[in-house]
Chains A and B, each alone.
Chain A
Amino acid sequence: MGSGRLYAAVAAGGFRRYATYRAATLAGVFTNTVFGVILAYTYIALWDERPHLGGYDQSDALTYVWLGQALLTTMCVMGTGFEEELIERIRTGDIAIDLYRPADLQLWWLAQDLGRALFQLLGRGLIPFAIGAWLFDLTLPASPLAWLAFLVAVTLGILVSYSFRFLVALAAFWLMDGAGITQMTWLAGVFCSGMVLPLNVFPGLLGEIVRALPWAALIQAPADVLLGRVDPLGTFAFQAGWAVALLGAGRLLQAVATRRVVVQGG
């Protein structure tokens, strides 16, 4: 299986690429921890006022805070993953070189992004989460099965995140300048993924809408699986549904976009 080995190598490259910057990783761990502490205290005040808000007790809410910090870069909620590089390659025309490589564009970047996500989960996720668990009273399941289900939900979340960012990057074929769309993605990601407030706390219709959007697959879904708040299979189906839909759209857009490429030569 030659192409399988190729993508494994690309994924390993993605992992190593981020693992190189050790000081940056440590700095990120520090920042995630500081934000985790600040958010945790505001959530304590909020759940003091309204115990069982959104179906969470205070300990669930605190677990949610630290999961959010652990998954923030893993899920690229605020962007700055491969998409910026891909947009740049589209803008400069280097994309033409990528297209006649014997590798599929979507799979290539997917492999790279999986490597990146794995490193971010281990490098920038684990330590802040451990510090959070040490400082605050978190709800952590004892059953290994619950953790396994959590890892499945995280993997599906990464897929959704990737497939959405791939679509955003391809939009550069039409927009040329990626600044506007990456900013919109950033805004939607932060707000609709539940980074600022758990999605189950959002009131009324707004809550129903954000919980149905793909961003709910990034943080809310893995958190609810770990906290045992939802049926894991239903959540997996929700995440996988979005992943398939967005990956399919990406495939379609890739086909249309590559027909648009005009190599200017020179």
Chain B
Amino acid sequence: MGVGVGGAVKTGVRGERWTGAEWDDGPLGRRERVRDGVRAYRMIAAMWIRSTMAYRASFAMTTIGNFVATGLDFLAIVLMFSRIDRLGGYSLPEIAFLYGLSAVAFGIADLVVGSMDRLGRRVRDGTLDTLLVRPAPVLAQVAADRFALRRLGRITQGLMVLGYALTALDDVHWTVLKVLLMPVMVVSGGAIFCAVFVGGAAFQFVARDASEVQNAFTYGGATLLQYPPGLFAQDLVRGVTFLFPLAFVNWLPALYVLGRPYPLDLPEWVAFLPPLVALGCCALAGLAWRAGLRSYRSTGS
């Protein structure tokens, strides 16, 4: 198997054969390709769920393990607050609010595309070739591979912390806009983290065994967002606002909800940008993925 994508012959779901340039805007339109991808993703994910459910006790244990493991960093924050009342001027419920939003957004991305970080290994051991010849979008196949329902543990833990934050926050002035902003935040935040996962995977086409760089941006990013931006150096905050827009996952919209001043003297309306930023990130990640896939040359093994 020495062929790159450009030369590979693909067969559409309906049996048509299409090659090379047709692959881009081929006989199936863009919308149909997306539908194919979603369908392939659903089928592969369902297969993995069935296979996990064959060992229910093991599933229960790993889900609980996932829940506990992700809770440790919040436990560390609670331990900190056993010694202090405020961290960087923020109370425990306020930090729990940031933490919960970051954890849920990241948890969604981890559930949906968390397997993408295995791409480097696939490139190295040659199993990516198998995916290239199957009549389904490679992105959907890689993303759904080893779909792990146990990752719901992280989302559950994040939701519980968020729930605690919402009951314990007593000086937030709630408005309809703020309430509506919350689900938007979680979904856009999840999409931004998805883009980070996909972009990171695209990077692994080039840097095969450097998958850990991705952890710095995914897990590292999620950890960063658990604390108020005021803790960090201005340049770091600038970096994750303008260059690598993680600040839109929760910081900017959350500070609006909490009624806290924004970092970098940003205007108030940036709190409503997350959906746009998420769209932009996903588009960029998609382009990166395509470029990566196109540059792929099999190792031949």
| Chain A residues in the interface with B (C-beta under 8 A) | 21, 23-24, 26-28, 30-31, 34-35, 37-38, 41-42, 44-46, 48-50, 53, 177, 179-180, 183-184, 186-187, 190-191, 196-197, 201-203
Question: At the interface with chain A, which of B132-140, B183-191, B207-215, B291-299?
Answer: B207-215
A37 to B240, CA, bound (A): 14
Say whether, besides A24-B209, A31-B215, A187 and B88 are in contact (CB < 8 Å): no
**Measured between C-beta atoms, what is the minimum distance from B199 to chain A in Å?**
15
Between A35, A44, A45, the greatest number of chain B beta carbons within 10 A of the residue's beta carbon is seen for A45
User: Taking the nearest CB of chain B, how far is it from the CB of A29, in angstroms?
Assistant: 9
Q: Tell me the smallest distance from the CB of A160 to a CB of chain B, in Å.
A: 21
- Docked CA distance A143–B68 (Å): 42
The interface residues of chain B, by DSSP majority, are classed as helix
Determine how close the nearest CB of chain B comes to the CB of A99; give it in whole angstroms. 28
Query: B241 contacts which chain A residues (CB < 8 A)?
Result: none
Question: Inter-chain contact count A-B, CB under 8 Å?
Answer: 96
Nearest CB on B from A129, distance (A): 17
Instruction: Judge whether B212 and A28 touch: CB under 8 Å.
Output: yes
Query: Lowest 10 A-B CB distances belong to which pairs?
Result: A27-B210, A196-B76, A27-B212, A34-B216, A31-B216, A49-B84, A45-B88, A27-B213, A24-B209, A183-B65
A–B complex contacts, Cβ < 8 Å, 12 sampled: A23-B207, A24-B209, A24-B212, A41-B231, A41-B232, A50-B84, A180-B65, A183-B65, A186-B69, A190-B69, A196-B75, A197-B76
Cβ-neighbour of B58 out of A24, A179, A201, A202 (below 8 A): A179
A237 to chain B, nearest CB (A): 28
Cβ contact within 8 Å between A37 and B236: yes
Interface centre among B80, B215, B227 (most CB of A within 10 A): B80
B72 and A23 contacting across the interface, CB-CB below 8 Å: no
Q: Chain A's interface: helix, strand, loop or mixed, by majority?
A: helix
Contact between B210 and A50, CB atoms less than 8 A apart: no
Decide yes or no whether B130 CB sits under 8 A from chain A.
Answer: no
B231 contacts A42, C-beta separation under 8 Å: yes
Q: Is the CB of A42 within 8 A of B79?
A: no
Give the A-binding residues of B (Cβ under 8 A): 58, 61-62, 65, 68-69, 72-73, 75-76, 79-80, 82-88, 207-213, 215-216, 220, 223-224, 227, 231-233, 236
How far is A44 from B233 in the complex, measured between Cα atoms in Å?
11
Q: Chain B residues near A191 (CB, 8 Å)?
A: 72, 75
Interface contact B208-A35, CB-CB below 8 Å: no
Contacts of A50 in B (CB 8 A): 83-84
- Cross-interface CB contact of A46 among B61, B87, B211, B216, cutoff 8 Å: B87
- Considering the chains assembled together, what is the distance between the CA atoms of A53 and B80 in angstroms? 10
**B220 / chain A contacts, CB cutoff of 8 Å:** 31, 34-35, 38
| Cβ contact within 8 Å between B62 and A27 | no
- B87 pairs with A183, CB closer than 8 A: no
The answer for the CA separation of A138 and B140 in the assembled complex, in Å, is 47
Residues of A within 8 A of B227 (CB): 38, 41-42, 45
Do B62 and A183 touch (CB < 8 A)? yes
